[in-house]
Amino acid sequence: MSLDIVQMVLVTVVSAATPLIIAAMGELVAERAGVLNLGVEGMMVLGAAVGFAVAVETGSTLLGAVGGAGAGLALSALFGLLTVGLAANQVASGLALTIMGLGLSGLAGASYVGLKREPAPHLHIPVLSDLPGVGRLLFGADAFVYVALALVAGVSWFLWRTRAGLTLRAIGDDHTATHALGLPVRKVRFLAVLFGGACAGLAGAYLSLAYTPFWAPAMTAGRGWIALALVVFASWRPLRVAAGALLFGGTTVLQLHAQAAGLGLPGQALSALPYIATILALVLLSLGRRQGGSLAPAALGRDFTPHR
Amino acid sequence: MRSITGALIGALILSLGPARAEDKLKVGFVYVGPVADYGYSFQHDESRKALVAALPGKVETTFLENVPEADSERAIEKLARSGMGLIFTTSFGFMEPTLKVARKFPKVRFEHATGYKRAANVSTYSARFYEGRYVCGKIAGKLSKSGTVGYIASFPIPEVVSGINAFMLGAQSVNPNLKLKIVWVNTWFDPGKEAEAAKALLAQGADILTQHTDSAAPLQEAEKQGRLAFGQSSDQYRFAPKAQLTSIVDDWSHYVVAEAKAALDGTWKSQDTWQGIKDGMVVLAPFTNMPDDVKALAEETKAGIVAGRIHPFRGPVTKQDGTVAVKDGEIAPDPMILGMNWYVKGIDDTLPQ
């Protein structure tokens, strides 16, 4: 394989991992605050529909991305109202959110089916983007890819280097104690849920604006669920989530290339490879660092009612 | 006042007259995907619309979309219970649920697409997609400059395998050395993964793509990279005006209308229907982005299939392992095509079992 093909493969790996990273970062923050939102797939697919619709109407990819994130945010606000505000069951509400998102997106996107638009523009810096071997990979991606990277760095920094991040993690571990300390448990959780929704919506918008620039119902094809699983297997750590997403995207793309190159390996086994490889790698990683007890935020998925 | 009453009575008599002879037929449709997929389920819904247009006032239609195969029994039963006289279940995976519901409702007539199990009140229907793929293969064999064509396949079921074989036989008839690279994506619909598969195939030197999955993503990828591709299920020209060569379009309309008519006349009976280009169930979208001689070859092949002069699986057909599948001068019998689980010679891939 020439250098250009290697670079091309790496570029597709990154673009396959980007939606997973964006959605998983949002879910990670929500779960760190103690809220399990199983509606990622629903928010993502609604983000894809609304993002595409806004982009077509306005002609602007940026507004489309904002619209997609906004749609995810709106749907997550409903979820936050139910689970954080009214202490409804998080698992049931999250599943309902996925079903609702899939239905709503069909409705919102109905008149945009079969339309196409140009994919999101890619960065182009005269000399740097043309560097052989690495130019396109490092300096020629679309804005979503850089946003995903910024999200990983930003979430890491926020959770472990700021007071607000410490508060958020503390609330995710013990809502009763943090509430007794006077910390705004429900407010922080609600904001974390909104952040998760906006990220999921943005990830969806990436699919319909940059990855495969058209809208088709259910086009997320389970990526929301994979993002959810990544958060768990990466033991709620941003860098590991990113690594897991790249590994998942990488094995997905590489197995397709292996098939196209005619290596003669069975297709079904190769299709299962990304799942097996990612789970194995992340589980082994978690085992190595494990120091007794669960790695999950201790209050994850538990309802909180302050006055009872 | 009198004229209004008269008109009312007249309308009453009119509505009683023909409606008494045979009540309005309620027709239900069950789709596996969204009607807006611009592919498989979209084409089935087009047949429903054609039915409404063809028999105005005589039929009343209902459809359920996005019905998961695992949960389809409930959906089909719901339609049967609501007084439907004829129900079309349009995915292979609906086969057992359809039969189960059909046993409970012996007076309701069922039509199952792409399956092979029938009952007294269950008919089956499917299209000879492989005929279209044979024409595509000829076009690809003529047009490929790199000599390599990429094939994005979904699942190793006979319908897909016979499609691959027909495509390859068509291609070999004009270019015996053409190479086919096959990528199995193990999904019917995942735009992202289909696009990745397309990228992988194009990177490995394929200059024409064809697919047996349902999204327009591979076509768009071909368009983006300035290569050529074939559409799937419905005419996807709008997605790739510079790349689409033709598209294999499923047209169920005339069949659905005929079956509804038969149900209205009382002549409906359980049967198996398998039609191709000749009967208009497989339609090829306009041949575009190719020179005139290739277009002429494609038209001629199509006409040959219609006239019965050309059959994609006319012998000699040799299997990958060198054994003869169809002898010289013979034509592969339908059961062989319906159960195809082997590749023809020249395909360099291991068929997943």
Q: Which residues of A fall within a CB distance of 8 Å from B194? A: 212
Q: Do B192 and A261 touch (CB under 8 A)?
A: no
CA distance A255 to A230: 20
Q: Which residues of A fall within a CB distance of 8 Å from B349? A: 262, 264
Note whether B319 and B342 are within 8 A (CB).
yes
Interchain CB contact of A113 with B (< 8 Å): yes
A298, A70, A304: which is closest to A190 by C-alpha? A304
CA distance A226 to A44: 12
Instruction: Please name the residues in contact with B150: beta carbons below 8 A apart, sequence gap of 6 or more.
Output: A260, B181, B183, B198, B201, B202, B204, B206, B208, B209, B210
Strands B208-211 and B179-184, bridge-based pairing: unpaired
Q: Which among A222, A260, A270 has the least Cβ separation from residue B181? A: A260
Interchain CB contact of A223 with B (< 8 Å): yes
- Portion of chain B with pLDDT greater than 90, in percent: 74
Q: Do A113 and B38 touch (CB under 8 A)?
A: yes
Closest Cα of chain A to B195: distance in Å? 7
Q: Do B203 and A260 touch (CB under 8 A)?
A: yes
Q: Check residue A208 and report its DSSP letter.
A: I
Residue B9 has pLDDT above 80, yes or no: no
Question: Which residue's entry shows tokens 């709503």?
Answer: A104
Q: Which residues of B fall within a CB distance of 8 Å from A213? A: 220
Q: Which residues in chain A land under pLDDT 50? A: none
Note whether A49 and A269 are within 8 A (CB).
no
CA distance B70 to B49: 27
Residue in B with minimal Cα distance to A17: B192
Q: Looking at residue B2, what is its pLDDT?
A: 42
* Terminal Cα distance for chain A, rounded: 65
Q: Looking at residue B249, what is its pLDDT?
A: 93
Q: What are the structure tokens assigned to A97, written together?
A: 């959110």
Q: Do B220 and A116 touch (CB under 8 A)?
A: yes
CATH number listed for the domain at residues A3-289 = 1.10.3470
Domain B129-250+282-338 is in which class? alpha beta
Q: Looking at residue B3, what is its pLDDT?
A: 44
Q: Which residues of A fall within a CB distance of 8 Å from B156? A: 267
Residue B8 has pLDDT above 80, yes or no: no
Interchain CB contact of A273 with B (< 8 Å): no
Q: Do A268 and B192 touch (CB under 8 A)?
A: no
Q: Which residues of B fall within a CB distance of 8 Å from A110? A: 36
Give B 218-277 residues with CB within 8 A of chain A. Answer: 220, 224, 238-239
Q: Do B183 and A256 touch (CB under 8 A)?
A: yes
CA distance B352 to B341: 9
Q: Which among A221, A259, A266 has the least Cβ separation from residue B187? A: A221
Q: Which residues of A fall within a CB distance of 8 Å from B233? A: none
SS (H, E, C) chain B: CHHHHHHHHHHHHHHHHHHHHCCCEEEEEECCCCCCCCCHHHHHHHHHHHHHHHCCCCEEEEEECCCCHHHHHHHHHHHHHCCCCEEEECCHHHHHHHHHHHHHCCCCEEEEECCCCCECCEEEEEECHHHHHHHHHHHHHHHCCCCEEEEEECCCCHHHHHHHHHHHHHHHHHCCCCEEEEEECCCCCCHHHHHHHHHHHHHCCCCEEEECCCCCHHHHHHHHCCCEEEEEECCCHHHCCCCEEEEEEECCHHHHHHHHHHHHHCCCCCCEEEECCCCCCEEECCCCCCCHHHHHHHHHHHHHHHHCCCCCCECCEEECCCCEEECCCCECCHHHHHCCCCCECCCCCCCCC
Q: How many CB atoms lie within 10 A of CB A166?
A: 13
Q: Which residues of A fall within a CB distance of 8 Å from B200? A: 12, 253, 256-257, 259-260
SS3 state at A103: helix
Instruction: Please name the residues in contact with A227: beta carbons below 8 A apart, sequence gap of 6 or more.
Output: A19, A20, A23, A24, A27, A40, A44, A200, A203, A245
User: In a mutagenesis test of the A interface, which of B32, B42, B65, B183 is the best target, namely the one with the most A β-carbons within 10 Å?
Assistant: B183
Q: Looking at residue B214, what is its pLDDT?
A: 85
Q: Do B196 and A268 touch (CB under 8 A)?
A: no
Residue in A with minimal Cα distance to B236: A114
Interchain CB contact of B155 with A (< 8 Å): no
CA distance B334 to A84: 61
Q: How many CB contacts within 8 angstroms connect chain A with chain B?
A: 120
Residue B151 has pLDDT above 90, yes or no: yes
CA distance B307 to B331: 15
User: In a mutagenesis test of the B interface, which of A1, A2, A251, A259 is the best target, namely the one with the most B β-carbons within 10 Å?
Assistant: A259
Q: Which residues of B fall within a CB distance of 8 Å from A270? A: 184
Q: Do B34 and A106 touch (CB under 8 A)?
A: yes
Q: Which among A113, A116, A256 has the least Cβ separation from residue B36? A: A113
pLDDT for B252-305, tens place per residue?
Answer: 999 999 999 999 999 999 999 999 999 999 999 999 999 999 999 999 999 999
CATH 3.40.50.2300 domain residues, chain B: 19-127, 129-250+282-338
Q: ipTM for the complex?
A: 0.82
CATH number listed for the domain at residues B19-127 = 3.40.50.2300
Q: Looking at residue B20, what is its pLDDT?
A: 40
Q: Do A262 and B34 touch (CB under 8 A)?
A: no
Q: Looking at residue B34, what is its pLDDT?
A: 80
CA distance A64 to A75: 17
CA distance A171 to A153: 22
